Every structure is written in C-alpha cells, then in structure tokens.
Amino acid sequence: MRIRIIDAFTDRPFSGNPAAVCLLDGPDWPDEDWMQRVAAEMNLSETAFALPLPSGGEADWWLRWFTPTLEAGLCGHATLATVHAMHSDGLLGTDQVRFTSRSGTLVARREQLGGYTLDFPANPHTPVPDPAGLTEALGAPVLESFDTGPLGDLLVRLADERTVRSLAPDLTAVAALPTRGVLATAVADDPSGDYQFVSRFFAPACGIPEDPVTGSAHTALAPYWAKQLGGTRLTGYQASRRGGLVTCELSGDRVLLSGRAVTVLDGTLHSGPEPARS
C-alpha cells in the first residue's frame, strides 16, 4: 500500500506539521486495529485514511484520522495533507472534495494560486474555571480558560507572545488534566504584522506531546481572537519548534483554514490492510 508523509501548513519541507496519508481503494474500511497500528508505527500526530464513496452522494470520500494511540474526531493538518495527496494524484476533479467524517461534512478546495482551504465547523469558547494544577502543569500563569465544546480541548490565554513561546510544560501533569489537550495562546507582539496571535498545543494524553501546527485548534482560536481583535480574517502562528502559519476566515458558523503542503516522503507500506473484523 502506498503511504506518504506530507508537511502541512508550510511551503518548505521539514517544517509545518507532518501527517501520513493513505488513500484506500475500498470498497470497505480495513480493520481499525490495523489502522491504529499503522498510526502508531508512523508515530506522527495524525495518520489519515481516506476511502472513496459512491458518486452521487453528499460526500466524495470518507476521512478518518488516528493519533499514535486513538482515533481523532477532527484534524486540520492531516485533512490538508490528504487533499494535497489527492491533488497530486489528479483526484480532485473540480479542485474541490467533500469528506464525510466524525465531525460531519468537511469541504476542501485547491486555490488558484496554490495552497488549499478547508471548510470546518467553528467551535465555541465558553469560560470555565481553571482545572486544579493547570498553572503548575504549564509552568506559567493563566489569564483565562475556556471550554471548546465538541473540540474537547482547554483554550487558555497567557500574558504575551514570549510566555507562549517559552513554555516548557510538565507533560505528565498536562496528561492528567481533565481535557483532551491544552491550547495556549496570546496576542502577537505586533498584531499588524504577519500574524495576529500565537499558540501552542499539547495533548500528551492522546500520544501527542506537542503538535507542531494544529488546524483543528484554529476552529476555536479564530472565533476567540476575532472577538478580541475584531475582523473576520486573521492569521495565527503556531510557535512550535517547526512552526507554521494558519490563515483563518470566519464564515457564519464555519471557519475557513488556508495553508500549503509539501510531500516529503512517498513510499510503500509492506504490511497491507487487514479486512475489517465482523
């Protein structure tokens, strides 16, 4: 089986966020345990599996994402990587594809000047008390905390960009918090520059100590910062070691996330799909 590693939310190899992508032949899904073991073997934050659907329906492909330890409900960078793989194979047709997923129907399109735009549901941010041990786990004071609804993460605002960039959290303590992951953010030092806010994302309980660039996180970050800063089009910089820019545009109850992608590995998985267990 063909498998690719594609760096998403970047136009340079070995930056942005790498995802593994398998475009399956179908007609059925392979065994879930096999897909989970492939994701564990790849040991990237997500491995995406896409299965073609019969023509004429509400979606063209079925898309699933696996971290090294579990199946994810939503993943932006691995979706962008999947669309890039499909474009490379001439499978986009009208330069647009509709996916059915655990987060409903997701639409992605190829832009005329290059890059891709993902149409994802916006996720709410509701103020909540800081969980016990949060400050100690992050190693920095928290100004305010928010629940992100279906996303399942805790969004926390920190004092400034420098604080976000210098975080060195206790990942064992972060994994013990009652949340899927912790999304730390702050306004950019210069909001009139290339980006208006910064973030970092830690999800050790899901097998992701730190995610390099998290598209799904921006479905909560974009509504939050749009309310704080005004405007509907913002760019976020995820300040991980690899780093990456995510352009966000609010459109009603949706968020449009834009970025580029680069294929860095194209190979063969010699342990092929196992049939689904009955």
Q: How many residues in total does the chain contain?
A: 278
Is there a domain that residue 273 lies in? no
- Whether 198 and 218 have beta carbons less than 8 Å apart is answered as no
131 plus 226 within the same structural domain: yes
**Residue 33 neighbours by CB distance under 10 Å:** 11
DSSP string across 29-73: -B-HHHHHHHHHHHTSS-EEEEEE--TTSS-SEEEEEE-SSSEES
Buried b (16+ CB within 10 A) or exposed e, 122-152: bbebeeeeebeebeebbebebeebbbbeebb
Q: Note the pLDDT of residue 57.
A: 87
Q: Does the annotation count 46 as an active-site position?
A: yes
Is 63 within the bounds of a domain? Answer: yes
pLDDT in tens, 84-120: 999 999 999 889 999 999 999 999 999 988 899 999 9
Helical (H) or strand (E) element with 153: none
Instruction: Tell me, yes or no, whether 139 and 99 share the same domain.
Output: no
Q: Evaluate whether residue 242 is within a structural domain.
A: yes
Q: Does the residue 200 lie in any domain?
A: yes
Least confident segment among 148-152, 189-193, 271-275 = 271-275
56 and 162 assigned to the same domain: no
Q: Are residues 9 and 108 in the same domain?
A: yes
CATH code, domain with 38: 3.10.310.10
Assess whether 102 and 13 both reside in one domain: yes
| pLDDT one-digit tens code per residue, 170-180 | 999 999 999 99
Same domain, 192 and 236: yes
Q: Is residue 71 part of a domain?
A: yes
User: 62: number of CA atoms within 13 Å, CB side?
Assistant: 13
pLDDT value at position 56?
Answer: 81
Co-location of 63 and 150 in the same domain: no
Q: What pLDDT is stored for residue 278 in this prediction?
A: 57
Number of structural domains (the chain) is 2
Enclosing domain of residue 241: 126-251
Same domain as 215, residue 156: yes
Judgement on whether residues 208 and 264 belong to the same structural domain of the protein? no
204 belongs to a structural domain: yes
Please spell the DSSP secondary structure of 130-142, one letter per residue: PPTTHHHHHTS--
203-261 per-position pLDDT tens digit: 999 999 999 999 999 999 999 999 999 999 999 999 999 999 999 999 999 999 999 99
Instruction: Give me the chain's average pLDDT, please.
Output: 95
d(CA 157, CA 254): 22
Q: What is the pTM of this model?
A: 0.91
User: Which is the catalytic residue, given 32, 46, 111, 136?
Assistant: 46
DSSP secondary structure letters along 236-273: EEE-SSS-EEEEEEEETTEEEEEE-EEEEEEEE-SSPP
- Is the predicted pLDDT of residue 60 greater than 70, yes or no? yes
246 in a structural domain: yes
Query: pLDDT of 126-151, one tens digit each?
Result: 999 999 999 999 999 999 999 999 99
Residues 105 and 180 in one domain: no
- Do 88 and 158 lie in one domain? The reply is no
One domain, residues 108 and 137: no
CA–CA dist 209, 62 (Å, integer): 27
